[in-house]
Chains A and B, each alone.
Chain A
Amino acid sequence: MSIYHTLTPEQFDAIGQELDAIRNREIADLGEKDEKYIRTLIKRQRQLEVAGRGLLMAGFLPPAWLAGVACLSASKILDNMEIGHNVMHGQYDWMGDKNINSRNFDWDNTCTNTAWKHTHNFEHHTFTNVLDKDHDIGYGILRMSDDQEWEPRFVLNPILAVILSTFFQHFVAVQSLKLEDYLIYKTKTKEELKAEFKPTWKKMRKQLFKDYLLFPALAGPFFPFVFAGNVTANLARNLWSSQVIFNGHFPEEVEQFPESVLEDESRGHWYVRQMLGSANFEGGRLMHIMSGNLSFQIEHHLFPDIPAHRYARISPEVKAICEKYGLPYNTGSFMKQSVSVWKRIFKMSLPGKGGGKGKGLMAKVIPLKAESGSASRQAA
């Protein structure tokens, strides 16, 4: 049985208060060092981008091409993860700088700011790991949970996961459209889809034009080198960011929840659900920065709007709270968590319960709430 059911209401409240205290302390401490951190990082990212795009112009020389791809990949990863993802979470809104602000910031990615904030900040962070509410469970493409009903298409789970990772930015860009509702469940019309796709397409078009036409064209006869460089940099960013995100929620022990947990959920319950539904991975400072500090996925889910560079310092306290209340604090090496994620992806391609660990909650609750649990898909 999941710890979610053995904690007393008082314990939930106590956990909520302890975590709120950390949050309040960090918020009160926001200041110049946070500003300096994000500004320096943005500066580095812009430098890497200019260097990368410049080097690729001389991409006919293999060392320049390789260095160019490395710089541009690093630039795109920084832009999307430690800068874009975190700025759009509102981590730096308090600075009052309109250019480093969740409302205005846009990233080097085909997903629009508005669509991202809806699917990620709102749906994923509010309903973390709640089946049928958190679209990040499988992105509408994969089967990532025992309690997601098996369909024949999920035989292709591992292949679909590779495709998802390869074109991750585009899948994220269209995530808000819930394509499966049109293609598979037929609950969405073509017209609705078209209208919803319009703003996304506007952004996608600009990104594709810039990376695959304009910059290559600037290189004249060396068009193919720049084109190939940009394809590789985008691919590197896609593979890296998707793996980082998968590692945050899909290692085998990470729990998923039925919709019923949302009824009258207290602050303490919400915090506990975030901790049970997230996993960290370990690494050095560079690893943390390049993963947008999503290596501290647990801390990020507890405090999504606190500047991410603070998570490393907060993590021992969070770990101590977990130990105190007997909550798991899921962490391991990047490799260990990745292997665990891919095991889940393979297991879920077969019908029936995958037999993974840590599914006590779903197994216990679903039968009790059979009506609401199984009816939700048809109703959606």
Chain B
Amino acid sequence: MNATTQTPRRFQQGLQRLLQSRVAGVLSYPHGVDRYLEVLNPLWSTTEVRARVEKIEHLTADSVTVTLQPNTNWQGFIPGQFVQLTVSIDGKRHTRCYSPANSLHRTDGRIELTAKAHANGFVSRYLREQLQEGEVVTLSPAGGEFALPEQRPERVLLISGGSGITPVMSMLRTLCDEGYDGEITFLHYANRAEDMIYADELADIATRHNNVTLLRAFGDGESGGELSGLFCSEHLCSSVPDFAQATTFLCGPPPMMAAVEKVWEEEGLSDRLHKEQFTLATPQLDTSDEAGGEVRFARSETLVANNGSNLLEQAEAAGLTPESGCRMGICYSCTCKKTAGKVRDLRTGEISSGDEEDIQLCVSVPVGTVALDI
């Protein structure tokens, strides 16, 4: 690195240290330095990863690809890992997990996220229809066990379905950028050829890299793929006969993942299969019966059967002593984080989303199983 880029970087590091110092903390008390920095520039923060939306593309009819320029708090990722993206939709913050699809070796330091906008995908639809270039979003540091090992495997099989393509796309791009010379098979399932994200780039990679085999499987009756129909062991036997020797990375919709997992289990190869469930970050909870299910108090490791009364009473009946006050929803003393499940607001009768959000225990009745961070 030359001197001209060294100086601003050193200046930036010095500034960062100064802003994180105790004196800066006392001067900005009680709000903290970040609350003043963001007034100057919404990207600026001493701790949070925030990113500016640089580019929005639509590679297929129902998908959106967002390129983000993160601030200096971004510590990078391992191909396969995910980040939590937080966006504000009609005033309310929503967080979803997405796996960056870009190569680890991308030189401009940008992050590429691709989402498929499902009919009931609230956030993905927002990303596709409303997000604007230039907006600032919040990211978590990258996380997740699903990641390309630092010691690159000798033989790699990447299996994906739908928008589950993103983490394995990152793996493929990274390996190609590194000049990886082992065999890579990229097996992807999509309903139709025109729904396949990254179709052109994958075809291009397969032509340029002799060690990359691209296998596309589209729905029955669709043309253009090397295979057709849903995943089955015949696909493997015919097209990837050495799959047992490969380290396999799998990401796709739950039924497809289950089918793949079954084959690996039967072959006794489960330890060679790495998988990422991308459709739901939180467990699917049974919400069919309002008074049924259970209430999980995660932090106190307590579990009780949902008796249908408000969560404050249920917590107290379970021997917990959450902070509380008015017991009628006005003082917000009992506000706590719900990590999963739905609740009904006793005042409005409205049923919440199943997302992670803050709720008031005294006016919330669980609808089925609910998990709380108390």
Residues of A within 8 A of B (CB): 20, 23-24, 27-28, 30-36, 42-43, 46-47, 50, 88-90, 93-97, 99, 101-103, 106-108, 117-118, 121-122, 125-126, 203, 206-207, 209-210, 214-215, 270, 304-305
Contact = CB atoms under 8 A, between A and B. Distances in A.
Given A117-B325, A122-B331, 17 more contacts: A24-B347, A35-B88, A50-B36, A93-B335, A93-B358, A95-B88, A97-B93, A101-B358, A102-B335, A106-B30, A106-B31, A108-B31, A125-B330, A203-B30, A206-B29, A214-B27, A215-B27
Contact of A95 (B91, B329, B331, B332): B91
Interface of B: 23, 26-27, 29-31, 35-36, 39, 88, 90-94, 325-326, 328-333, 335, 347-348, 357-358, 360
A33 B27 CA distance: 31
Contacts of A125: 326, 330-331
A46 B36 contact: yes
Given A23-B347, A43-B39, A32 B91 contact: yes
Nearest to A122: B325
Contacts of A31: 90-92
B325 A121 contact: yes
Contacts, number: 102
A90 B91 contact: no
A305 B348 contact: no
B331 A207 contact: no
Contact of A47 (B39, B326, B328, B347): B39
Nearest to A101: B358
Contacts of B329: 305
9 contacts: A23-B347, A27-B348, A46-B31, A95-B92, A96-B357, A103-B332, A117-B332, A117-B333, A125-B331
Contacts of B88: 35, 95, 97
A47 B38 CA distance: 11
A96 B93 contact: yes
A305 B330 contact: yes
A20 B345 CA distance: 13
Given A23-B347, A96-B94, A97-B93, A209 B332 contact: no
A271 to B, nearest CB: 11
Contacts of A203: 30
B243 to A, nearest CB: 44
A126 B332 CA distance: 12
Contacts of A122: 325-326, 331, 333
Contacts of A46: 31, 35-36, 39
B40 to A, nearest CB: 9
Contacts of A102: 332, 335
A101 B188 CA distance: 44
Query: 9 smallest A-B Cβ distances: which pairs?
Result: A122-B325, A35-B91, A90-B332, A96-B93, A106-B30, A121-B331, A126-B326, A122-B331, A31-B90
